[in-house]
Structure 1
Amino acid sequence: MGSENRDRLSSLPDDVLSHILDLIPTKLAVQTSILAKRWRHSWKYVTKLHFDDMRSFTSLDSFTKYVDQVLKLYKTTHVKSFRLDCEMLVPSATTLKWIDEAIRLNVSELEIHPIPLELHRPFVCKTLTRLALCWEDRNITFPIDLPLLKTLDIKVYSNPNLNAFKIIRGCPLLESFSLHVFQDLGDEEYYFNIPTLKCLELNSFRGIYIKKVVLNVPNLEELFVSGRLWSPVVMENFPTLVSVTLSCSRGPELDQSWVELLTGLSGAKSISMRILGNNPSISPMPRFLNLKHFEFRANYSYPLDWLLINQIIESSYELEHLCIKKKPKHPFFDEREDSCWIDPQSVPACMLNNLTSIKFVNFKGQQSDIPFMAYMLGNARVLKTVTIMWDSIPLEEELQLKAELLKPPRASRYCEIHFIASGSRSTST
């Protein structure tokens, strides 16, 4: 309130008020219409319509009437973001009616999940740039035309060939594609032939065995693979790859497939890896000629595999930054012993010329933790920074760990070691 008891918020221009209302849930924005006469119509000009608060409605009928009324009174001719996230079963015809209304409003970003949706006619939108769908097993038989779409996120329960890949064909400018498959019958082949794609995310939560995954994406820069993708992956075209994140389960019978996968990714500049499964070491390990940053993340269920880390270091001639992330102590998971660290027969080339930083998260001082750090400190000639992070521990135990880590000689005269205890002390030397 101003000095003269004037409501300064209500005197803001309409576009500023609409921007403010865009920052709160749509239902609350609509409720501001009762504040004052000045606010009666302000909500009608918001650029985001998010209908994802069904719990506050007593029935599906009341929710449906609410959405219909909002869309009827809405005044703007362009809605930036339209989201529909329902816990109740909304009829497909009703959902399609709302999607038609969003298209009429020149929607830019559309999110529909987790609603059974059956497209029984062509799906055309000339303004859509981002589409997110959670899809059941619905076969698309009608044309898809999304000429400006750049981002596509799809979750399907099975058989993405029936829908997800058909949508891709109608997106000539697609740059980012995320596919989550909840369950697969194991007899499909996934072909990603997308020349414009820059970012690809594949996730299979309960996949059994996909027959084959073929990647022909000549402009891909970022790749994320997670879940149980235990299938052969054929890498046909990866000249521009920059960043790779792997968080996968694998079976021992697919060792050769993993060699082929990593060979296809060997041109990446950054790799973050978490491989779940027994004996995850890869042989023969391909050479990573461009790798600058490597991160290995441990998992609660499996111990840290030092042999695999050793293989990566020996195969990465240009490696500059190394990060090891152990999992913090967890009350529901037993602590498993890591594999033993074994010094390489010869010092890896990256440690002689390029490795400048090492970060060790959740350091525990276990069987191989200190020998690993002693080897790195004693052989990395251009090392500048080592960061050791651990959970808060008794001061006496912390001082003992620091003493152990400071004993080994350092090959680099300029190396600094930073000790960071979560939530408390941090020191450097």
Structure 2
Amino acid sequence: MAMAAKKVETCSINSLPDEVLGQILSLIPTKLAASTSVLSKRWRNLLPLVENLDFDESMVVYPNKRRTSATIGDGGGFLDFVERTLVLLGDSPIKKFSMKWKSQIDYSRYNDLIRNVLDRGSLELHLSSTSYQYIKPEFFFSKTLVKLTLSHGCYFQDTLPPDGVLFPALKTLSFVQVCFDSGDADPYDCLLTCCPLLEEVNIFAGDPFEMGGWRRYIWSSPIQRLSIFYRFHDLDAHDSVIIETPSLVYLDYSSYVSEDYQFQMDSLVEARLDLILWKYNDYISPVDEYYGYDSTKGDAWGDATKLIEAIRNVVTLHLSADSLEVFHCCCKSMPEFNNLVKLSFESHEERDWQVLPLLLKKSPNLETLVLKGLVHKITKGCGGVCPCKRVRKKRKKKRSCLSSCGAKVLKVYGYGGSCRELKQMRHFMENLRCLEVVKVQVDNGDKKYADELTKLLQTASSKCKIQFI
């Protein structure tokens, strides 16, 4: 019994070094980390070792504090808690600081708080608020900040310093449902163009019923990775998109198809596109509904030709099921994808494959073909890639476009084992003449489907191997 008690004592959390306990406290919400200071004198001294602070107004409750009409919604209690925690930290550095709140807070206290955090050599700053935030330029500056995220708010700034809002070490910048109200000054431009080491930009403006958006223009030489999610339902908000990023190597772009594109992406290696036709937009503005206007301007409104031309040199291309239809309906000419080695696309039972024969033909060096699902909308135009349409007996069967495809690896995710899917797999195996390996992920890991595919491969191809992933 004594030995068991001794073993428990040896393994207790109090036996851990202060530095380890500080790392543990950095992984939990700051409110909980701060509450540990009442445990003992030792735990009171551990708080300065916490390097990551995460404050959420919804977690800060003051049951004994009487709230009057003058204090309701002012966020004063929340700021009190944040400021007291910073005092307890002394002069300790802060690596990561996150703050999320809804109440209106005092701008001067807010700016002083941000300045306090940045003066401690912070590497990451994440601010999320649904209210207007006024940031004075002299407070919003840091030589050490590497990652900055502004979420769910409108950031107001009436003046900028002579050198702009400058973060000389910033590498990652994220805007989540953010808008700027800045008058003559434009902090959006400064944040993108006045950060010499900026490598990654993420923009999310997905909810059409919330404030926030982006100017649909990005110019920055150092950016290497760019992710944009833009789903506003207003056609006027999709008239043109301009992206001039000569050093960009990775693009993740999701939006309704725009009327025009101007892209400069000379170094692009990988692109992930989720483009949507306007005919799938079921939102009608109150004005259009009143006058009886059709907000979609036709099924194939928009022109993705310049966008597709701009990504012609990619090595890896990922397309959503909607993007396949945009390539077919909104592209006047298909460029040669001479560098394309890996093509990945998703399938949907209500989206077609009509562009695939042309896309495969324009990809002479393709080595890997990846499909997420096999079931798609049946049309006359995708017959060369799939066996959807039966060939009449009197007509000579056309040669499949797959026979000229050089793909050596075929990966299929989400195989369900239906009769239609089995026929599609047979079509691939019989017509992809360069195929060496077939990798399949079977839904629910059903062994019966795996056995069917193994037998199919034995009859369709003698030199190809099958692997289940």
Q: TM-score normalized by structure 2? A: 0.75
Alignment-derived partner of residue 99 in structure 2: 84
Deviation at 1:386, TM superposition (A): 1.7
Asked if 1:167 is matched to 2:191, the reply is yes
Deviation at 1:88, TM superposition (A): 3.7
Asked if 1:325 is matched to 2:372, the reply is yes
Alignment-derived partner of residue 12 in structure 1: 16
Kept after mapping to 2: 8 A contact 1:214/1:234: yes
Q: TM-score normalized by structure 1? A: 0.81
Asked if 1:145 is matched to 2:166, the reply is yes
Contiguous gaps of at least 5 residues in structure 1: 328-334, 421-429
Instruction: Choose from 251, 255, 273 the match for 1:223.
Output: 251
Describe the shift of the 1:228–1:144 C-alpha distance in structure 2 as closer, same or farther (beyond 3 A).
same
Alignment-derived partner of residue 310 in structure 1: 357
Instruction: Choose from 356, 359, 371 the match for 2:412.
Output: 359
Asked if 1:214 is matched to 2:253, the reply is no
Kept after mapping to 2: 8 A contact 1:200/1:223: yes
Q: Distance in 2 between matches of 1:394 and 1:127?
A: 52
Alignment-derived partner of residue 436 in structure 2: 384
**In terms of mean alpha carbon deviation, does 107-116 or 226-235 score higher?**
226-235
Alignment-derived partner of residue 294 in structure 2: none
* Number of positions where the alignment pairs a residue of Structure 1 with one of Structure 2: 405
The structure number with the bigger radius of gyration is 2
Describe the shift of the 1:160–1:65 C-alpha distance in structure 2 as closer, same or farther (beyond 3 A).
closer
Q: Distance in 1 between matches of 2:181 and 2:458?
A: 56
- Quick one: which amino acid aligns to residue 276 of structure 1? D
Instruction: Choose from 90, 95, 100 the match for 2:110.
Output: 95
Alignment-derived partner of residue 282 in structure 2: none
Describe the shift of the 1:188–1:206 C-alpha distance in structure 2 as closer, same or farther (beyond 3 A).
closer
Deviation readout 1:136-162 (Å, 9 max, x if unpaired): 263553131211111100134557994
- Quick one: which amino acid aligns to residue 376 of structure 1? F
Deviation readout 1:304-347 (Å, 9 max, x if unpaired): 422223332222122222111139xxxxxxx9844464126656
Kept after mapping to 2: 8 A contact 1:230/1:254: no
Asked if 1:293 is matched to 2:342, the reply is yes
What pairs with 1:234-383 in structure 2 (closer than 5 Å)?
234-236=262-264, 238-251=265-278, 257-276=303-322, 279-282=325-328, 283=331, 284-299=333-348, 303-326=350-373, 337-339=377-379, 341-343=382-384, 353-363=406-416, 365=418, 367=420, 369-383=421-435
What pairs with 1:12-51 in structure 2 (closer than 5 Å)?
12-51=16-55
Deviation at 1:377, TM superposition (A): 0.8
Describe the shift of the 1:188–1:19 C-alpha distance in structure 2 as closer, same or farther (beyond 3 A).
closer
Kept after mapping to 1: 8 A contact 2:239/2:258: no
Q: Distance in 1 between matches of 2:402 and 2:364?
A: 5
Alignment-derived partner of residue 224 in structure 2: 198
- Quick one: which amino acid aligns to residue 48 of structure 2? K
Deviation at 1:111, TM superposition (A): 0.3
Contiguous gaps of at least 5 residues in structure 2: 68-74, 279-297, 386-397
Q: Distance in 2 between matches of 1:366 and 1:76?
A: 68
Q: Distance in 2 between matches of 1:231 and 1:73?
A: 55
Percent identity reads: 22
Q: Distance in 2 between matches of 1:175 and 1:308?
A: 34
Q: Distance in 2 between matches of 1:53 and 1:158?
A: 22
Alignment-derived partner of residue 135 in structure 2: 119
Q: Distance in 2 between matches of 1:224 and 1:140?
A: 32
Q: Aligned with 2:274: secondary structure?
A: strand
Q: Distance in 2 between matches of 1:79 and 1:253?
A: 52
